[in-house]
């Protein structure tokens, strides 16, 4: 398969035809499998037609498209959501310098410094042997100071990278520590849940026993009114036994005395009275006695039911409370399990090792930088200044050298100015990037927040109170797209934004949200801009639900389909007709999806 | 141990058709006094109370003496049986004849078995239904007659 594109690169009107061939083999089931690719072929397009094939196409492409910028111009959608999570600050700064051409001023500075050195050499030659020696000394001192300065800058950059990595790793490590605590808590909760369940089972069993004891009595209790009536009737009829225990009374009579001191011996009044009661009980009917027993027993049963119901109420309350506690524990356990899923001990061990190593490296490097800075400030720079003074003194008084000295001084000042311009240019690009990103992001995400590009080229979105805003996956991806477009605008690069699988692994909701935002972004201020966005999407990604958003900006749709029967690829304009066999696309065709 | 009820039989009887169901019921319900399964006396009182509450009597059981032995019917059980008999006969005279009291208790018990088996067959949450029924009866009894005491 061959893909050939005519592209315009940069603003100087350079155009080229770029061709790349992919080699496929046809499998038994007639599906294609890529087996390799041929080298890219570049032919520049000149007013006279196509130029000859470029001898070194990769180098030619690099001229327009440096490798270190590829991360900002050719995207893999699946990685977009992590765009600002990875350590891209240095890469962004590099990209800005590269694209904005601000490194030119850095080159100028280096060249001017070389000129100054050359002039100093001439001065030394003309000044004689001592001046030459002093010039050499001055050169060595400057060189050493420069080397140490460069080493400090390099070490500081390394240190910054290591500190960044440590911050990131410690963040993850903190999560691992939390996970270890989570794991312990999970075990505790599981034990607590089992305990709670046992308590619930106990309460449930107690409830059942109590209800089985009280329930039947309560069900019969409707008959108590009849019992009361029968007792009253028997009482009126005198068939109820007297309210004494006849056996106990008989015992008193037999003993002839009472604990109260009354004389119960035969013939006494007390004896006669009690004997009368016993005789009354004997006369009471069997029915009366049984009725009396039943009524007395039911008073006991009522007291039992009262107590049992109170216990039932208590056990019910405990049961509900235990169930609630258990549900809370189960919920907590579920949340912990969610957090623990997918984490392995080995990755924790590796991470711990790396964190320890980073601490050691950072410590060593900090000590080294501090020592170098001390040496630079206290020894090397004073030594260079003193060498310069000595050299100036040695070459002084020679009239013809004054002109050269003025030139050397001018070259030095110009070199410093070039360095300052270089810094200002970077700052300017940063500010314009910030303005562009912030404005564009507001178009797609409403709310009171700002997106800033920091001194370190970190792209952060903050709420009104200065805290970092929480962004959804779709919004994070959108911010990355916006940054890329802003970069093009700020540095005036017209290379299109090309993204493979632009929605990555976003689910349907965020996919639609992102599609809407992208369409909005492309159409924003469209009269003035000439934004070109190329998305490469597969059939699972480009659905009628995403298309409806892109339709607002009039996309050019083209498809590439593998025709199994014909064993070849077909490229066509519009939507692949085969897609219309899918329900969603059928609905779209029938105008059901708007 | 002598029986509180005077009868020529040694034990109460259930409707023989419900022999298996009684066994099932014993394993399902918890014994109020902490035993693993409910005793036959407890099943007799439970089923009798269900039948009585619904006003449904079953057939008179043949005297197979295969249910609760009379000596296992304590004072509380006897008081409940006598109350059921008294209400059923609308007269306290029935208390004179313990045989009649037992017969009436058995009839209500058989009625209760019919109700319970039918519920068991149609309701997958039978036990829960039974517990709920007993709980609501207890609650009303307490609220209507016991709480103010």
The whole-angstrom separation of Cα A104 and Cα A38 is: 36
- Distance set, CA A128 to CA A114, A383, A387, A501, B14 (Å): 22, 22, 16, 71, 137
Please answer yes or no on whether B149 and A218 come within 8 Å at the CB atom.
no
Residue A496 has pLDDT above 80, yes or no: no
Residue A82 has a pLDDT of: 61
Q: What is the dihedral of CA A252, A255, A261, A264, to 10 degrees?
A: 70
Flag whether residue A102 sits within 8 Å of chain B, measured between CB atoms: no
Residue A385 has pLDDT above 70, yes or no: yes
Of B25 and A241, which is predicted with more confidence?
Answer: B25
ipTM computed for the complex: 0.94
Test mutation, A205, A215, A285, A306, chain B, max B CBs within 10 A: A215
Residue A442 has a pLDDT of: 79
As separate numbers, helices (DSSP H) first and strands (DSSP E) second, chain A gives 17, 12
Q: Which residues pair with A42 in a beta bridge?
A: A18
Q: What is the dihedral of CA A122, A123, A126, A130, to 10 degrees?
A: -120
Flag whether residue A7 sits within 8 Å of chain B, measured between CB atoms: no
Tokens 């070490």 correspond to A155
Test mutation, A204, A208, A213, A220, chain B, max B CBs within 10 A: A220
Residue A276 has pLDDT above 50, yes or no: yes
Structure tokens at A576: 């692949």
Please answer yes or no on whether A301 and B76 come within 8 Å at the CB atom.
yes
Structure tokens at A147: 């080397």
Q: What is the pLDDT of residues B99-149, one digit of tens each?
A: 999 999 999 999 999 999 999 999 989 999 999 999 999 999 999 888 865
Residue A159 has pLDDT above 70, yes or no: yes
Residue ranges in chain B assigned as alpha helix (H): 19-28, 40-54, 75-89, 98-122, 126-141
CB-count burial class (<10 Å; 0-12, 13-18, 19+) for B75: middle
A87 falls in which pLDDT band (50, 70, 90)? very low
What would the DSSP string read from start to end of A519-551?
HHHHHTTTTT----EEEE--TTTS-HHHHHHHG
Residue A425 has a pLDDT of: 79
Tokens 């310098």 correspond to A97
The whole-angstrom separation of Cα A103 and Cα A115 is: 19
The whole-angstrom separation of Cα A468 and Cα B73 is: 78
Distance from CA of A235 to the nearest CA of B (A): 12
The whole-angstrom separation of Cα A517 and Cα A509 is: 13
Q: What are phi and psi of B100, to 5 degrees?
A: -65, -40
User: Mean pLDDT across the stretch A8-26?
Assistant: 70
Please answer yes or no on whether A220 and B80 come within 8 Å at the CB atom.
yes
Q: What is the pLDDT of residues A45-66, one digit of tens each?
A: 777 777 777 788 777 776 666 5
Of A584 and A179, which is predicted with more confidence?
Answer: A584
Q: What is the pLDDT of residues A464-484, one digit of tens each?
A: 887 888 887 778 877 887 787
Residue A123 has pLDDT above 70, yes or no: yes
Residue B122 has a pLDDT of: 92
Residue A493 has pLDDT above 80, yes or no: no
CB-based contacts of A585: which residues, under 8 Å, 6+ apart? A543, A544, A575, A579
Residue A115 has pLDDT above 60, yes or no: yes
Lowest mean pLDDT among A23-27, A161-165, B85-89: A23-27
Q: What is the pLDDT of residues A537-587, one digit of tens each?
A: 887 788 888 888 888 888 889 988 877 777 677 888 888 888 888 888 888
Distance from CA of B62 to the nearest CA of A (A): 24
SS3 (DSSP) at A263 = strand
Residues in B touching A297 (Cβ below 8 Å): 75-76, 78-79
Of B61 and A65, which is predicted with more confidence?
Answer: B61
A305 falls in which pLDDT band (50, 70, 90)? very high
User: Mean pLDDT across the stretch A477-506?
Assistant: 74
Distance from CA of B11 to the nearest CA of A (A): 20
Across the interface, of B30, B92, B149, the residue whose CB is closest to A234 is: B92
Classify the C-alpha dihedral A297-A302-A308-A311 as positive or negative: negative
Q: What is the pLDDT of residues A307-352, one digit of tens each?
A: 999 999 999 999 999 999 999 999 888 888 877 766 655 566 777 7
Q: Is A575 left (phi over 0), alpha (psi -120 to 50) or beta?
A: beta
Please answer yes or no on whether A218 and B140 come within 8 Å at the CB atom.
yes
Of A386 and B117, which is predicted with more confidence?
Answer: B117
Across the interface, of A210, A211, A294, the residue whose CB is closest to B83 is: A294
**Statement: the pTM of the whole predicted model exceeds 0.80:** no
Helix axis angle, A345-375 relative to A129-220, nearest 10°?
A: 150
Q: What is the pLDDT of residues A68-79, one digit of tens each?
A: 555 555 566 666
Residue A527 has a pLDDT of: 39
What would the DSSP string read from start to end of B120-137?
HHH-TTHHHHHHHHHHHH
């Amino acid at each position: 398969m061959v893909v050939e594109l005519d592209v315009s690169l940069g603003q100087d009107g350079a155009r080229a035809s770029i061709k790349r061939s992919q080699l496929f083999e046809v499998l038994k089931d007639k599906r294609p499998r890529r087996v390799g690719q041929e080298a890219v072929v570049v032919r520049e397009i000149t007013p006279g037609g196509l130029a000859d094939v470029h001898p070194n196409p990769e180098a030619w492409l690099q001229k327009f498209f440096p490798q270190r910028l590829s991360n900002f111009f050719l995207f893999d959608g699946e990685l977009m959501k992590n765009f600002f999570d990875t350590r891209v600050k240095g890469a962004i700064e590099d990209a800005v310098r590269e694209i904005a051409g601000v490194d030119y001023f850095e080159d100028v500075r280096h060249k001017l410094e070389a000129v100054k050195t050359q002039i100093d050499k001439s001065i030394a030659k003309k000044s004689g042997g001592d001046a030459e020696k002093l010039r050499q000394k001055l050169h060595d001192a400057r060189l050493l100071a420069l080397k140490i300065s460069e080493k400090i800058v390099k070490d500081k950059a390394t240190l910054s990278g290591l500190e960044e990595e440590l911050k990131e790793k410690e963040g993850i490590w903190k999560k691992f520590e939390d996970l270890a605590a989570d794991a312990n808590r999970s075990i505790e909760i599981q034990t607590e849940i089992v305990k709670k369940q046992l308590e619930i089972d106990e309460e449930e069993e107690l409830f059942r026993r109590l209800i089985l004891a009280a329930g039947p009595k309560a069900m019969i209790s409707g008959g108590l009114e009849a019992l009361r009536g029968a007792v009253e009737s028997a009482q009126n009829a005198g068939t109820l036994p007297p309210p004494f225990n006849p056996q106990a009374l008989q015992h008193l009579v037999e003993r002839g005395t009472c604990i109260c001191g009354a004389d119960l011996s035969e013939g006494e009044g007390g004896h006669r009275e009690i004997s009368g009661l016993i005789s009354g009980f004997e006369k009471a009917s069997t029915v009366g006695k049984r009725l009396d027993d039943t009524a007395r027993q039911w008073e006991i049963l009522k007291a039992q039911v009262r107590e049992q119901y109170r216990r039932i109420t208590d056990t019910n309350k405990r049961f509900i409370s235990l169930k609630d506690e258990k549900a809370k524990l189960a919920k907590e356990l579920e949340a912990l399990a969610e957090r623990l899923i997918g984490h392995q001990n080995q990755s924790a061990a590796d991470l711990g090792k790396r964190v320890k190593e980073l601490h050691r490296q950072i410590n060593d490097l900090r000590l080294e930088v501090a020592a170098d800075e001390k040496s630079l400030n206290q020894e090397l720079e004073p030594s260079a200044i003193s060498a310069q003074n000595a050299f100036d003194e040695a070459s002084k008084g020679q009239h013809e050298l004054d002109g050269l000295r003025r030139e050397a001084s001018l070259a030095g000042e110009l070199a410093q100015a070039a360095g300052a311009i270089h810094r200002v240019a970077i700052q300017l690009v940063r500010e314009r990037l910030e303005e562009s990103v912030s404005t564009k992001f507001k178009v797609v995400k409403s709310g009171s927040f700002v997106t800033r590009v920091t001194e370190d080229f970190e792209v952060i979105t903050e709420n009104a109170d200065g805290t970092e805003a929480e962004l959804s996956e779709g919004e994070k991806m959108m911010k990355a797209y916006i940054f890329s477009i802003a970069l093009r605008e700020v540095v005036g690069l017209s290379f299109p934004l090309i993204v493979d699988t632009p929605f990555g692994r976003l689910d349907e909701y965020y996919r639609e949200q992102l599609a809407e935002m992208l369409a909005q972004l492309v159409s924003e201020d469209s009269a003035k801009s000439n934004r070109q966005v190329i998305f490469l999407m597969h059939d699972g990604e480009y659905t009628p639900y995403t298309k409806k958003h892109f339709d607002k900006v009039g996309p050019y749709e083209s498809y590439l389909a593998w025709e199994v029967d014909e064993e070849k690829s077909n490229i066509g304009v519009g939507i692949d007709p085969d897609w219309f066999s899918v329900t969603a696309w059928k609905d779209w065709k029938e105008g059901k999806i708007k | 141990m002598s029986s509180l009820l005077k009868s020529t039989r040694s034990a109460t009887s259930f409707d023989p058709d419900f022999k298996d169901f009684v066994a099932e019921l014993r394993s399902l319900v918890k014994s109020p006094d902490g035993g693993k399964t409910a005793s036959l006396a407890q099943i007799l009182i439970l089923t009798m109370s269900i039948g009585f509450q619904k006003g449904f009597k079953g057939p008179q059981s043949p005297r197979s003496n295969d249910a609760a032995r009379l000596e296992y019917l304590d004072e509380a059980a006897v008081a409940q049986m006598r109350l059921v008999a008294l209400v059923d006969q609308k007269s306290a005279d029935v208390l004179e004849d313990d045989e009649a009291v037992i017969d009436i208790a058995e009839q209500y018990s058989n009625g209760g078995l019919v109700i319970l088996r039918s519920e068991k067959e149609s309701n997958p949450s039978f036990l829960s239904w039974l517990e709920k029924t007993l709980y609501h009866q207890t609650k009303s009894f307490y609220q209507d007659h016991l709480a103010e005491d």
